[in-house]
Amino acid sequence: MFRLEKPSAVSQLWLTGNLQDDFISSEDSKRCGKTLRVSVVIEGITLHGGTRSKVRIFQDSGAVRFRRAGQEIPAKLSAVTGTDRCTVLGVGPARVAVVEHLLASLYTLDLWTGLVIEVDNDELPILDGSAQPWIETLAPFGKGQKPIALQPKKGLNHRQGSSSMMIEPGEHSLCTKIEFPHPAIGHQAWCGGPDSFSSLLGARTFGFLSEAEKLKEAGLALGASLENAIVFDDMGPLRPLRFPDELARHKALDALGDMFLLGYPLEGKITVTRGSHKLHVDFLKELFSEKPPEMDL
């Protein structure tokens, strides 16, 4: 399940332009009195299904949304259908899983509107296990405009067993804390403000060799390999880490991606302890259980 051989090329990316469509202008197209439609394509192996997935991202008006088998799926909290080891969005029978790394990239780029993400699989490709390939893919779209942020006036501490997620009014920051009974991990933490969120993008997903068979039997991590995940045996990681705190950074990356589902930046002093996708989603639902009428979550 955690294949040790090097797989074939993980992804493919290209840019297309169509001067007949009315989208964001480039300098050259302005001189022609026309506009350029930007479309990018990336593909690779999926983490859980182990199959190939092709994604096309293109410009269109409205909020960011996915399109699977002709069905549009909003990148919204209300569309979450699953949180087991990843975040799954769906409408009717249409599903798109492992959306969190792409959404974290959109968050850091302030690309909250104007994009459609078309997928030919029920799962996005895992690429190298981090969000860095997504950032590179999204580069042609540039930086977006940050919308008005959501700033809760009172705090909330949402608990699930030994895990918790809390927000307090104050200067915007995100802090993630993890703890694993493994000699190479133990306690780790990452904390930073919005100016440092981009430092999370290269942190990869991780797993344990001891859990491989159990995950495989559950139909999970069928596409996991050393090329797209940090794999730990009983002693430590089987390949070098990119950062000493890479695991804590990846947990922060996941939290950022899940918070994108609000459709607006969430600002305050946010602390996540032993986070999970279920924790993030349940926290956001409780925080905005009495949302303002103008918010569409």
Same domain, 23 and 66: yes
- Tell me the average pLDDT across 176-181: 95
- Nearest of 171, 188, 167 to residue 179 by alpha carbon: 188
Tell whether the model's pLDDT for residue 15 goes beyond 80. Answer: no
What pLDDT does residue 195 have? 96
Res 295: pLDDT: 57
Cα 43 from Cα 93, distance rounded (Å): 23
171 shares its domain with 63: no
Final residue of a domain: which of 88, 118, 141? Answer: 141
Q: What domain range is 24 assigned to? A: 14-141
| Same-domain check for residues 129 and 168 | no
Please give the share of the chain, as a percent, with pLDDT higher than 90. 78
CATH number for the domain including 172?
Answer: 3.30.1700.10
Whether the Cβ atoms of residue 124 and residue 99 lie closer than 8 Å to each other: yes
Whichever domain contains 86, its CATH number is 3.30.230.20
Catalytic residue among 48, 101, 158, 277: 277
CB 276 within 8 A of CB 163: yes
Question: Do 80 and 201 lie in a common domain?
Answer: no
Q: Among the residues of 89-238, which ranges form H helices? A: 100-109, 132-138, 212-217
Residues 126 and 196 in one domain: no
**101 has catalytic annotation:** no
Measured distance CA(74)–CA(192) in Å, rounded: 29
CA distances from 70 to 4, 67, 83, 91, 96 (A): 37, 6, 23, 11, 12
Same domain, 162 and 265: yes
Assigned token pair, 193: 């403000």
Last residue of a domain, one of 117, 141, 165: 141
Q: How many domains does the chain have?
A: 2
Residues 116, 65 contacting (CB under 8 angstroms): yes
Among the three residues 141, 173, 194, which one is the final residue of a domain in this structure? Answer: 141
Mean pLDDT (whole number) for 214-225: 87
Indicate whether 173 pLDDT > 90: yes
Judged against a pLDDT cut of 50, whether residue 92 lies above it is answered with yes
